[in-house]
């Protein structure tokens, strides 16, 4: 008897739950705009709100942290506009310099240290595969057309920076010259002067 009552109760409860709940919330509806929006305006990631949160970080929150929390909004606005003005000016000057404008030597020196543009990739020459007429460094430099001095300098710098003392090759240029090439399996020496010629 009691079981039947309970069963009925659960059934009633389930019915109530089904009546009361619905899917009518706003985010459900907003989905139906997506396809029309794509047809009309293009893809959706373009309008992402996600990067807005990034912008908050650099423009608002950094400014808030630098302020003295006293009439902060003014300080936040000022702090970012100062940064922005400075960066715009730097970019302008730099593009002027690239166009060949006459800038004061101080400024040019300043740019060389703080330049924001990325340095061009250094071109490298490679000896691919084994060749009969290349046995030591002297031949190597002759075949690649790179001066022996540059190679030696590069080698020594590399070994000083990266190798442990006991594994370093000798630093005397004459010994280096006669080293068999097989010792140096991966040798890439940036050649600036050569690169300019190529381009």
Residues forming contacts to other proteins in the complex (CB under 8 A) are 13-14, 16-18, 20-41, 43-56, 58-61, 64, 72-73, 76-77, 80-81, 84, 87-88
Shortest CB 3 distance to other proteins, Å: 19
φ, ψ of residue 42 in degrees (nearest 5): 105, -175
The position carrying tokens 């109530």 is 16
Are 195 and 122 contacting, i.e. CB atoms less than 8 angstroms apart?
yes
Q: Give the distance from CA 15 to its chain's centroid.
A: 57
Shortest CB 133 distance to other proteins, Å: 44
Q: What angle do CA 48, 53, 55 make, to 5 degrees?
A: 100
- Compare residues 84 and 160 and give the one whose CB is closer to other proteins: 84
Shortest CB 78 distance to other proteins, Å: 11
Tokens linked to 128: 């691919």
- Compare residues 25 and 193 and give the one whose CB is closer to other proteins: 25
- H/E stretch holding 196 reads helix 192-198
- Compare residues 55 and 127 and give the one whose CB is closer to other proteins: 55
Any alpha helices (H) in 21-125, and if so which ranges?
Answer: 26-30, 34-41, 50-55, 62-66, 72-98, 105-114
- Compare residues 93 and 138 and give the one whose CB is closer to other proteins: 93
Shortest CB 5 distance to other proteins, Å: 15
- Compare residues 47 and 114 and give the one whose CB is closer to other proteins: 47
Shortest CB 100 distance to other proteins, Å: 16
């Amino acid at each position: 008897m009691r079981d039947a009552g309970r069963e009925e109760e659960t059934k009633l409860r389930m019915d109530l739950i089904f009546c009361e709940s619905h899917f009518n919330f706003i985010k459900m509806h907003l989905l139906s705009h997506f396809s029309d929006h794509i047809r009309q305006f293009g893809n959706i990631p373009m309008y992402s709100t996600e990067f807005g949160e990034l912008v908050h970080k650099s423009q608002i929150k950094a400014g808030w942290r630098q302020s003295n929390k006293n009439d902060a909004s003014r300080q936040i606005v000022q702090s970012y506009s100062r940064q922005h003005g400075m960066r715009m000016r730097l970019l302008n000057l730099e593009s002027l310099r690239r166009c060949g404008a006459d800038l004061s030597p101080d400024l040019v020196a300043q740019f060389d240290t703080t330049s924001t543009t990325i340095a061009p990739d250094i071109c490298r020459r490679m000896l691919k595969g084994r060749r009969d007429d290349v046995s030591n460094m002297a031949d190597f430099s002759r075949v690649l057309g790179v001066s022996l001095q540059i190679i030696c300098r590069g080698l020594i710098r590399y070994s000083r920076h990266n190798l442990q003392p006991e594994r370093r090759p000798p630093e005397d240029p004459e010994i280096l010259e006669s080293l068999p090439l097989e010792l140096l399996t991966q040798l890439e020496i940036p050649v600036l002067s050569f690169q300019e010629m190529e381009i």
